[in-house]
Amino acid sequence: MTTETQPGNASPAEADPQWMIRFDKVVKRFGDVTVLRELDFHVRPGERVTLIGPSGSGKTTILRLLMTLERVTSGTIEVDGQYLSHMRRGDRLVPADERHLRQVRKKVGMVFQQFNLFPNMNVLRNITEAPVRALGVPRDQAEAKARELLEMVELADKADEHPSRLSGGQQQRVAIARALAMEPEVLLLDEVTSALDPELVSGVQCLLRDIAQQGNLTLLCVTHEMRFARDISDRVLMFDQGQIVEEGDPEQIFTEPTHQRTRDFLQAVLGA
């Protein structure tokens, strides 16, 4: 396990390989609005976790914090034993600088609701840009890898295409390939099928199911598709108002939720 801290300085938590993701009393406020209240939760390496709950309950914020797109108000987050938004200086924790952030971001990848492909690059370049610029992979090597990934997402023939000429589903598959090209240990999926036309949803979901089953990727997924959540995850967390209301394996949550708020929520989304 790689850590930046000196061996003698590492706390037990940091050396603990048991958790890939660790939230410790995380609070996130936007102005007056508290989105996360003292949130604790842990994810094991290779575990596939889905976050469900009404919109505004803070699920997406969790992903954005992990991707360092937001910073915690207080509390700490660790990814693979490394502090995310903090770093150690001596025996104190200080806010992370850009170098530290770039170091920990290597482990995390994210797929967005709106794909966010770069419109000024073709499909291949979208996938190779980050490995080449951020990891220093030689371009030909990065391209070979990108073509493999495109093969996997069944878009091998679209390598030279411009993103705007692809359907939403195809764009999202490219975005998934792009994230995987960085070989992250944690993949964050932020409502990845919400912006897709209904008929394109299942293709993307199948692909993600395959990815989930193949690798030892740790998955953290926010979705409103309960079937998908059930298919893809080992564990489901039900969120409400910035806190975990209930958690358990998918079967239990979806068939016999114990908490009233979970029942209300499921009823609302499943229309049952």
Partner 1 sequence: MIWDWDWTLQILPDLLTQGLLVTVQATLGGAVLAFVLGLFLALLRRSRRAYISRPVGAVTEFIRSTPLLVQLFVVYYVLPDFGVSMTALTTGIIGLGVHYACYTAEVYRAGIDGVPKGQWEAAVALNLPRHWIWLSVVLPQAVRRSLPALGNYLVAIFKESPQLSVITVVDVMGLARELGSERFRYLEPITIAGLFFLLIAIPASILIRRMERRLDH
* Longest CA span, the chain: 56
Smallest distance, Å, CB 67 to partner 1?
A: 5
- The alpha carbons of the chain give a radius of gyration, in whole angstroms, of 19
Smallest distance, Å, CB 192 to partner 1?
A: 13
Report how far Cα 222 is from the mean position of its chain's Cα atoms: 8
Name which of 241, 217, 258 is nearest 36 in CA terms: 241
Q: Tell me the DSSP string of 223-270.
A: -S-HHHHHHH-SEEEEEETTEEEEEE-HHHHHHS--SHHHHHHHHHHH
Distance CA 102, CA 96 (A): 10
Smallest distance, Å, CB 91 to partner 1?
A: 28
Q: Specify the residue, 10 or 121, whose C-beta has the smaller distance to partner 1.
A: 121
Residue for token pair 């993600």: 208
Residue for token pair 């030909």: 140
Smallest distance, Å, CB 113 to partner 1?
A: 9
CA dihedral 115→116→120→125, nearest 10 degrees, is: -60
Stretch that binds partner 1, among 47-55, 67-75, 142-150, 237-245 (CB under 8 A): 67-75
Q: Specify the residue, 184 or 215, whose C-beta has the smaller distance to partner 1.
A: 184
Contacts of 33 (CB under 8 A, 6+ apart): none
Contacts of 153 (CB under 8 A, 6+ apart): 173, 174, 176, 177, 207
Q: Specify the residue, 188 or 207, whose C-beta has the smaller distance to partner 1.
A: 188
Q: Specify the residue, 92 or 99, whose C-beta has the smaller distance to partner 1.
A: 99
Structure tokens at 8: 């003698």
Q: Specify the residue, 112 or 254, whose C-beta has the smaller distance to partner 1.
A: 112
Site for partner 1 in 103-162 (CB under 8 A): 105-106, 108-110, 112, 114, 116-121, 129-130, 133-135
Binding string, 161-200, against partner 1, x = CB under 8 A? --------------x--xx--x------------------
Smallest distance, Å, CB 137 to partner 1?
A: 12
Smallest distance, Å, CB 253 to partner 1?
A: 28
- Under rule CB under 8 A, how many of the chain's residues touch partner 1? 27
Q: Under the criterion CB under 8 A, does residue 59 sit at the interface with partner 1?
A: no
Cβ atoms of 171 and 163 closer than 8 Å: yes
Structure tokens at 190: 């932020």
- Assign 33 to helix, strand or coil: strand
Site for partner 1 in 203-242 (CB under 8 A): none
Smallest distance, Å, CB 56 to partner 1?
A: 19
Smallest distance, Å, CB 138 to partner 1?
A: 16
Residue ranges that bind partner 1, judged by CB under 8 A: 67-69, 98, 102, 105-106, 108-110, 112, 114, 116-121, 129-130, 133-135, 175, 178-179, 182
